[in-house]
Amino acid sequence: MAEPIVIEGQRAWLKHYGEGSRAVALGLLNFVARRFHLDALRPPPHRGGAGACGIEARRLLELKAQGVHVPEVIGQGDTVLVLEHTGDSFNACLRKADMAGRDRLVGAAIAAIAEAHRNGAYFGQPLPRNMTWDGQRVGFIDFEEDPLEVMDQAQAQARDWLMFGYGVARYYDDRPQALEAMLAAAMEQAGKPVVEHAHAVTGRLRRLARMLRRAGKSGRALAHAILVVHGASTFGFVVLAVLCLDLLGDGELDLFDLIG
């Protein structure tokens, strides 16, 4: 839990680390992820308390050293951190933005994730609610869990694309092809093992995605994320751009039928 505070006139955040309480759900997800070889989706241990606080403090230092825009740790106790304010909630910004504004925000986030990956960084849960926007820079927060405890770096970076895709898919419900094109451009630059893993995992999830498409708004967001990341890691960007132009041209072509 994080609460906004003011220190010497500056906004900051006081983050408390309660005890972990999701053991059963995490155990189930771990079982499913192992059973179906979905390594990127394996949940890292959720420690809670001092363990979680220590992981977040360490990860924030690592990420800062890798050039990622994360909050400075202003103060630290056993189970609390005081963090620099890095901006408004990215989620709130996405909600308020119009279509062009959303594309700009999502484009900036994709560029920030891709650059961090190039520097060897990984996030874990780059969802819009764990990101900030100060009008210029995307900030990243919430690092209580370390995916490298259960997967390698390429799998963790693939996981980042899946998480991010899932987080923003709800804003592209009627334009998934636009999101796919932006992600595909980033995937062009990503490491081969990362793209291959993202492709393999989303490939195994495709049947599930087709069922989820009919399962309400969240189901559709998850389905779109799976299909969008799968598509983005399949085609070269140029091919995709042509397909999208085609789609915009007559509005008939269903990209997802092509992928499926």
Ligand X SMILES: Nc1ncnc2c1ncn2[C@@H]1O[C@H](COP(=O)(O)OP(=O)(O)O)[C@@H](O)[C@H]1O
Query: What residues line the site for ligand X (CB under 6 A)?
Result: 1-2, 13, 15, 71, 83-87, 89, 129-130, 132, 141-142, 144
Shortest CB 17 distance to ligand X, Å: 8
Estimate the crossing angle of helix 153-169 against helix 192-204, to 10 degrees: 60
Check residue 205 and report its DSSP letter. Answer: T
| Among ligand X, Mg ion, none, partner that 39 touches (CB below 5 to 8 angstroms by kind) | none
CA 62 to CA 163: how far, in whole Å?
Answer: 21
Q: In this structure, are strands 80-84 and 131-133 parallel, antiparallel, or unpaired? A: unpaired
* 39 lies in the site for Mg ion, by CB under 5 A: no
The window from 24-32, 142-150, 194-202, 233-241 that contacts Mg ion (CB under 5 A) reads: 142-150
Taking CB under 5 A as the criterion, the residue among 142, 145, 146, 160 binding Mg ion is 142
Shortest CB 73 distance to ligand X, Å: 10
Binding footprint of Mg ion, residue count (CB under 5 A):
2
| Among ligand X, Mg ion, none, partner that 83 touches (CB below 5 to 8 angstroms by kind) | ligand X
- Which stretches of 66-128 are DSSP H helices? 90-96, 99-118
- In three state form, how does the secondary structure of 215-237 look? CHHHHHHHHHHHHHHHHHCCCCH
Nearest to 202 by CA among 166, 149, 254: 166
Shortest CB 1 distance to ligand X, Å: 5
* 130 lies in the site for Mg ion, by CB under 5 A: yes
Closer CB to Mg ion, 142 or 160, in the complex: 142
Closer CB to ligand X, 16 or 175, in the complex: 16
Name the strands in the sheet holding 138-140, side by side, starting at the edge strand that comes first in the sequence.
88-89, 131-133, 138-140
**Pair of tokens at residue 149:** 């405890």
Residues engaged in binding Mg ion (CB under 5 A): 130, 142
